[in-house]
Structure 1
Amino acid sequence: MKKVKKAIIPAAGLGTRFLPATKAMPKEMLPIVDRPTIEYIVEEAIQSGIEEIIIVTGKGKRAIEDHFDRNFELEDNLAKKGKHDLLAKINQSSQVEIHYIRQKEPKGLGHAVWCARKFIGDEPFAVLLGDDIVQSEVPCTKQLIEQYEQTQSSVIGVQTVSDEETNRYGIIDPSGKEDRLYQVNQFVEKPALGTAPSNLAIMGRYVLSPEIFQFLEKQETGAGGEIQLTDAIQKLNELENVYAYDFEGIRYDVGEKLGFIRTTIEFALENEEFGPQVEELLKEILAKRSFTQV
Structure 2
Amino acid sequence: MSESVQSAPGRKPVRKAVFPVAGLGTRFLPATKAIPKELLPIVDRPLIQYAVDEAREAGIEEFIFVTGRGKTAIVEHFDTAYELEATMNERGKSLAPLDPTRIQPGNLVTVRQQVPLGLGHAIWCARAVVGDEPFAIFLPDELMHGSPGCMAQMVEAYNAVGGNLISVLEVPRHEVSSYGVIAPGETPDILGGTLTEVKGLVEKPKVEDAPSNLIISGRYILQPEVMRTLENQEKGAGGEIQLTDAMARMIGAQPFHAVTFAGRRFDCGSKLGFVEATLALALEREDMGEQVRAIMARLLG
TM-score by length of 1: 0.93
Q: CA deviation at 1:193?
A: 4.6
The aligned residue for residue 21 of structure 1 is: 31
Counterparts of 2:250 and 2:144 in 1: how far apart (Å)?
A: 26
Counterparts of 1:48 and 1:83 in 2: how far apart (Å)?
A: 30
The aligned residue for residue 261 of structure 1 is: 275
Q: CA deviation at 1:168?
A: 2.7
Counterparts of 2:101 and 2:36 in 1: how far apart (Å)?
A: 19
Q: CA deviation at 1:112?
A: 0.6
The aligned residue for residue 139 of structure 2 is: 129
Q: CA deviation at 1:238?
A: 3.0
Gapped regions of structure 1 (runs ≥ 5) = 288-294
The aligned residue for residue 81 of structure 2 is: 71
> What does the per-residue CA deviation read over 1:20-73, in whole Å, with 9 as the maximum and x for residues that have no partner?
211222111111111110111111111111011011111111211121111011
The code of the aligned residue for 1:105 comes to V
The aligned residue for residue 291 of structure 1 is: none
The code of the aligned residue for 1:33 comes to V
CA RMSD of aligned residues (A): 1.4
Is it true that 1:190 corresponds to 2:198 in the alignment?
no
Counterparts of 2:254 and 2:200 in 1: how far apart (Å)?
A: 12
Is it true that 1:232 corresponds to 2:246 in the alignment?
yes
The question of whether the paired residues in 2 share the 8 Å contact of 1:189 and 1:223 is answered with no
The question of whether the paired residues in 2 share the 8 Å contact of 1:6 and 1:125 is answered with yes
The question of whether the paired residues in 1 share the 8 Å contact of 2:169 and 2:214 is answered with yes
Counterparts of 2:251 and 2:23 in 1: how far apart (Å)?
A: 27
Corresponding residue SS for 1:176: coil
> What does the per-residue CA deviation read over 1:106-145, in whole Å, with 9 as the maximum and x for residues that have no partner?
1111111110010000001100111111121112111111
> What does the per-residue CA deviation read over 1:68-119, in whole Å, with 9 as the maximum and x for residues that have no partner?
11101111222232322xx122132324422111111111111111100100
The question of whether the paired residues in 2 share the 8 Å contact of 1:188 and 1:231 is answered with no
Q: CA deviation at 1:194?
A: 3.5
Corresponding residue SS for 2:286: coil
How has the CA–CA distance of structure 1 residues 217 and 192 changed in structure 2, closer, same or farther, with 3 Å as cutoff? farther
Moved more, 26-35 or 187-196: 187-196
The aligned residue for residue 218 of structure 1 is: 232
The aligned residue for residue 176 of structure 1 is: 186
The aligned residue for residue 6 of structure 2 is: none
Gapped regions of structure 2 (runs ≥ 5) = 1-10
Is it true that 1:92 corresponds to 2:100 in the alignment?
yes
Taking only the aligned residue pairs, the percentage that are identical comes to 49
Counterparts of 2:20 and 2:208 in 1: how far apart (Å)?
A: 30
The question of whether the paired residues in 1 share the 8 Å contact of 2:162 and 2:255 is answered with no
The aligned residue for residue 242 of structure 1 is: 256
Task: Tell me which of 163, 172, 176 is aligned to 2:173.
Answer: 163
Q: CA deviation at 1:246?
A: 0.6
Counterparts of 1:253 and 1:116 in 2: how far apart (Å)?
A: 25
TM-score by length of 2: 0.91
